[in-house]
Structure 1
Amino acid sequence: MKITKLILAAVLTANTMNIPVHAESQETNSSASTLSLDVNLESDDAYVIDPENGQILLDQNSDEKIYPASMTKIMTAVVVLESGISLDQTVTITDEMLNGLYEAEAAVVGYSTGDTPTVRDLLYGALLPSGADAVNALAYTVSGSIDAFVQAMNQKAKELGMGNTHFVNPTGLHDDNHYSTCKDIATLTAYAVQNETFRQIFSSSSYTDTLGNLMYSTVAGAIERDNISLPGFVGDKTGYTDDAGHCMASYAELNGMKIITVTAHAMTDIYDTAHLKDASTILNALNSWSRKTVLSSGDTLGSYMAEKVIGRTEETVTSSQNITADVPNEAKIAVTTDLAESYKVTNKDQTKQLNVTITADGKTAAETSQTFTVPKASDFFNRVLIFFRDLF
């Protein structure tokens, strides 16, 4: 009985002592704005992301409804490449594949009924000169009909989480019910460039098919003619209709960054290169940025006091992962966390969440969450005191 009374007295005394136990969640610098490119574009809508670390580098109306025009053909190529069809299979061009394209003033490779290009030829024809004849031939060959192929396109969009996208055709010819967003097209492009065959076609400036047709990328000539600077540029797919304006999805690798850029609704003359100028503006601005490893696994994030009933110990928290960020080269980088000054020790290990924020010149560049463990009390006396403390 005497021992029990002494223990209870110690617990009650410890509970009334002025031992500061701080809140377990301290507010980080929530007023900091998000790091973003500061550029002026001709396009109304734009989205720039590094898909490798998920960092959004520019968001300008990225969820606004757009008409994707020929950027649609990125999805067309994805569906074909994932269908399992042989790229060396020959396809006989039929009247049905060419029906209505002339009347719609669609861009074409120039195939005629009876021609026998390969599936690989048709993919190049779809992505380089943006040939609707090549696209329709692929759709009929893979799915048997345009409608069935479009159904496969929409199913893939759903799988990729493109929740604001709906396809009506595989060409991108205008239809009010054929729409997307810059963010969704960026998701699609980031997915597509992981396919080696797609990247090879996507990044080509010209191609000669098995029938001897020489094809050129829709932008290769304009880039050379207008001397447009595109540092790190790998490949692109452009589009244009009267309703869509100029639009473009591109991929670049620059200073360690992987950059997906989608711009849309540049309402300029059909012969203007507003989409290329915007891509140039974005990539040249990013040329003074780079991917940096801000934290490495094992780096110290901070320390806290582990508050026991009797006594306290200092514990160190280290990063459990590498954290990278795309930041301006001259920016001042800072790392902050919501680690509390102290945590109350119990008789069980406690898993806590720690939010880590990376800022560049005071602007948020990256945010991530990690976990750490507040260790349980290890000495017998504190374990007994904690047991009685937690009864009250």
Structure 2
Amino acid sequence: MKKYTLLLFILGLLTNMNVSTLAVSETYYSTTYLLVNRDTGAILEQLNDERLIHPASLTKIMTTFVALEMMDENQLNDTYTLTHDIFYDLVSLDASVAGFDAGETVKIVDILYGIMLPSGADATRAIANYISGSEDAFVRLMNQKAHELGLENTHFENTSGLDHPNHLTTAHDLRIILEAALKNSTFKRIFAASEYQSSPTNFKESGYTWVDKNLEFANGVDPQNPLTGTKSGYTELAGSALASTATVNGSSYMLISSGAPYNPFDFYNVQDALKFYGSIARDSNVSQKNNQQTTEPPITKINEPRKTELFSANLFFLIGSLTTVIGFMIYLISKVFKDA
């Protein structure tokens, strides 16, 4: 008897639930994110955006930005010969590389693209040596820039984003770094590049061809995807991260995310970005339709709910309520007989 009573009671509760509460809300893989309207500065979505995180290769946004600030545009055509010390531990650290070799002479602009598109740690060390003579000296410039930007929760220990207990930032700070970097026209061009062909080197006559795999994946999912630039990263401590910009219905947006699972084929960080920007597009379309409705002449007839729909909804609610009451009454009666 108790089993049937409990079943009726639960059924009644479920029947009375608003159907919308049963719908699964849109979820994201990332555990930290910050979505911003760049035109207005409004924060649209956020989760743990001020929590300390490991930035992984999103570090390279600051590396490239600082490098560009430390030289003039003419230096982009200079060359630098990569030294052996750049490569000594990159394999053991499982660092991503652009593909350069010790002794290879490469244009500075190609090194910068090698930082951002293939996310090369060999390239970050090369530019650090070119600018400052060593990675440690260049990292001091990165931390100085973080201080100038007023970032109280950001500290760098290397140029590439390899995990380190003190190599930390927040989504909030990464947004500020990327916004500042995008004011530099060369950085903006590199960040937006979907593909790049480098100049020939003394080791590689055909040069290097690099592709933004994030944009490539997004285009495969949706050829009309709104992404206008990306930089991704992954380490064990950071998870899969992404900094991206997009244009939706004529407005510019930015998303910083991290903590998504990593899979070289599924691009969970990019999937999250497409979800976020897709939700903006849907909300914008709904808003436009509502605006159109409100500006229509007053004589326009507004469709009312059909009586059959109202009757079905009321009947559904009535059945649920009766089921709940009957279940509770059976429970009371069974309790009385048991006590008797």
Tell me the TM-score normalized by structure 1: 0.63
2:210 corresponds, among 172, 192, 215, to: 215
Aligned to 2:276: 282
Give the Cα–Cα distance (whole angstroms) in 2 for the partners of residues 139 and 76 of structure 1. Answer: 8
Contact 1:92–1:115 under 8 Å retained in 2: yes
Give the Cα–Cα distance (whole angstroms) in 1 for the partners of residues 241 and 176 of structure 2. Answer: 15
Give the Cα–Cα distance (whole angstroms) in 2 for the partners of residues 96 and 224 of structure 1. Answer: 38
- Say what the alpha-carbon RMSD is for the aligned residues: 2.0
Aligned to 1:317: none
Give the Cα–Cα distance (whole angstroms) in 1 for the partners of residues 98 and 118 of structure 2. Answer: 7
Q: Which runs of 5+ in 2 are unaligned?
A: 1-24, 201-206, 292-340
Contact 2:232–2:243 under 8 Å retained in 1: yes
By relative contact order (CA 8 Å, sep 6+), the higher-ranking structure is 2
Give the Cα–Cα distance (whole angstroms) in 2 for the partners of residues 330 and 76 of structure 1. Answer: 44
One-letter amino acid matched to 2:232: T
CA drift at 1:224: 4.0
Contact 1:74–1:189 under 8 Å retained in 2: yes
One-letter amino acid matched to 2:111: L
CA drift at 1:267: 2.9
Partner SS state of residue 258, structure 2: strand
Partner SS state of residue 202, structure 1: helix
CA drift at 1:269: 3.7
Contact 1:143–1:149 under 8 Å retained in 2: yes
Aligned to 2:44: 57
Aligned to 2:131: 142
Give per-residue Cα distances to partners, 1:202-260, cap 9 Å, x unaligned: 111111111211111232333344x2467421101000011111000001122232211
One-letter amino acid matched to 1:248: L
CA drift at 1:328: 4.2
Aligned to 2:242: 248
Q: In the superposition, relative to structure 1, how do residues 191 and 331 fare at CA in structure 2: closer, same or farther (>3 Å)?
A: farther
When structure 1 is superposed on structure 2, of 52-61 and 265-274 the one drifting more is 265-274
2:288 corresponds, among 320, 325, 329, to: 329
Partner SS state of residue 239, structure 1: strand
1:117 matches 2:106: yes
Aligned to 1:204: 193
Give the Cα–Cα distance (whole angstroms) in 2 for the partners of residues 76 and 214 of structure 1. Answer: 21
Show the 5 A alignment for 1:159-170: 159-170=148-159
CA drift at 1:331: 6.1
Question: How many residues are matched?
Answer: 259
One-letter amino acid matched to 2:54: Y
1:179 corresponds, among 163, 168, 171, to: 168
Aligned to 2:319: none
Which structure has greater strand proportion?
Answer: 1
One-letter amino acid matched to 2:253: I
Contact 2:234–2:262 under 8 Å retained in 1: no
Aligned to 1:368: none
Contact 1:62–1:181 under 8 Å retained in 2: yes
Contact 2:219–2:225 under 8 Å retained in 1: no
Give the Cα–Cα distance (whole angstroms) in 1 for the partners of residues 26 and 168 of structure 2. Answer: 26
Give the Cα–Cα distance (whole angstroms) in 2 for the partners of residues 276 and 266 of structure 1. Answer: 10
Moved over 4 A (4+): none
Give per-residue Cα distances to partners, 1:306-330, cap 9 Å, x unaligned: xxxxxxxxxxxxxxxxxxxxx9435
Contact 1:246–1:270 under 8 Å retained in 2: no
Give per-residue Cα distances to partners, 1:322-366, cap 9 Å, x unaligned: xxxxx943567xxxxxxxxxxxxxxxxxxxxxxxxxxxxxxxxxx
Aligned to 1:262: 256
One-letter amino acid matched to 1:176: P
One-letter amino acid matched to 2:38: P
Tell me the TM-score normalized by structure 2: 0.72
1:45 matches 2:32: yes
Give the Cα–Cα distance (whole angstroms) in 2 for the partners of residues 138 and 241 of structure 1. Answer: 22
Give the Cα–Cα distance (whole angstroms) in 2 for the partners of residues 157 and 328 of structure 1. Answer: 38
1:99 corresponds, among 80, 88, 101, to: 88
